[in-house]
Amino acid sequence: MQPETPLTTEPRSNTPPPTARQDFARSQRRESWKSAFSTILILIIAPLIALFLTAFVFQSYEVDGPSMENTLQNRDRLIVWKLPRTMERVTGKLFIPKRGQIVIFVKHGIEAFDPAQDKQLIKRVIGLPGERVVIHGNDVTIYNSDHPKGFNPDKTGDYKIINTDAQANVDLVVPDGEIFVSGDNRPNSLDSRAFGTVPAKDIVGTLAYRIFPINKAKSF
Rounded to the nearest 5 degrees, what angle is found at the Cα of 206, between the Cα atoms of 192 and 57? 140
Residue of higher predicted confidence among 110 and 90? 90
pLDDT at 209: 98
In CATH terms, the fold of domain 58-219 is Umud Fragment, subunit A (2.10.109)
Tell me the DSSP string of 119-132.
EEEEEEEEE-TT-E
pLDDT at 50: 75
CB atoms within 10 A of CB 83: 15
**Tens-digit pLDDT profile for residues 5-45:** 555 555 555 555 667 666 666 667 777 777 777 788 788 88
Question: Does the pLDDT value for residue 150 go beyond 60?
Answer: yes
Average pLDDT, the chain: 87
pLDDT at 128: 98
For the chain, what are the domain ranges? 19-56, 58-219
> pLDDT class for 1, splitting at 50, 70, 90?
low
pLDDT at 26: 67
32-46, 73-87, 176-190: which has the minimum mean pLDDT? 32-46
Contacts of 90 (CB under 8 A, 6+ apart): none
Residue 122 and residue 99: Cα distance in Å, rounded?
Answer: 14
pTM of the model: 0.80
